[in-house]
Amino acid sequence: MPMELRSGYVRASGYANKIRKVLFAITRGRAEPEEVVRAAAELNQYLFGKFQELGVRKEDVVRISIGFSIDGGKIIWDYDSLKIEVYRREEEKNLAQAMEEVEEREKALDEAIKELENLAERLRALSDEISEKVEKLKQEHSGLKLQVER
């Protein structure tokens, strides 16, 4: 099943950690941790070479996306699908826009997570209420059954 890793905006100096974290998140339960570490290291090594070719400096901001698949527990990169966007420090306007987008997305993600946590709490409360009513019905039903048997 084809999948895609997207780093989001990240300083070039921190891309390796971001790639590893994102890969762990999207392959959880599908690949062993050792394989995730191996595949992340492989991709990061490849990206390092690409960054050198592109003249990416550590203070630049990058956004990376690449397709991959998992076959027999092994992560296989689709290097032909690799996309690297580079925002150079000199391009302050673009960099500011990119970082603003990151902040907006992080805020939206935080809000979505809070909303889901609230929903989960309401579902737990509703589940508890349903369980209580089921127990009450069982007790009432058992009481009726005992009265009829007398």
Tens digit of each residue's pLDDT (9 = 90 or more) over 10-25: 889 999 999 999 999 9
Cβ atoms of residues 26 and 70 within 8 Å: no
Average pLDDT on 110-115 reads: 82
**Predicted TM-score (pTM) of this structure:** 0.61
Tens digit of each residue's pLDDT (9 = 90 or more) over 135-149: 888 887 776 655 555
- Beta carbons within 8 Å of 75's beta carbon, 6+ residues apart: 23, 27, 31, 35, 36, 38, 39, 68, 69
